[in-house]
């Protein structure tokens, strides 16, 4: 598989899982205040950025010698 394909797959899976978790918790916890939802959204953005950065570092192709 090419790096571009693995990168797209990483993006698709990580976004589906992280934002899926966010929307499930949003729907099941409707009695929370709006600020709690905003904090949870900010947390998902940070988690997604970390997962994407670490994932791309691990997927980076090795330099050829």
Length of the chain: 65
pLDDT digits (tens, 9 = 90+) for 7-57: 999 999 999 999 999 999 888 887 878 888 899 999 999 999 999 999 999
Output the furthest CA–CA distance in the chain (Å, rounded): 58
Ranges of H-type helices in 1-65 = 3-28, 34-59
CA angle 21, 24, 29 (to 5 degrees): 120
CA distance 5 to 44: 24
pTM, rounded to two decimals:
0.80
């Amino acid at each position: 598989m090419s790096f571009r394909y693995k990168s797209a797959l990483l993006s698709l899976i990580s976004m589906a899982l992280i934002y899926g978790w966010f929307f499930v918790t949003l729907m099941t916890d409707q009695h929370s205040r709006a600020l709690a939802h905003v904090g949870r959204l900010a947390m998902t953005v940070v988690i997604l950025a970390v997962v994407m950065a670490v994932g791309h570092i691990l997927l980076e192709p090795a330099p050829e010698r």
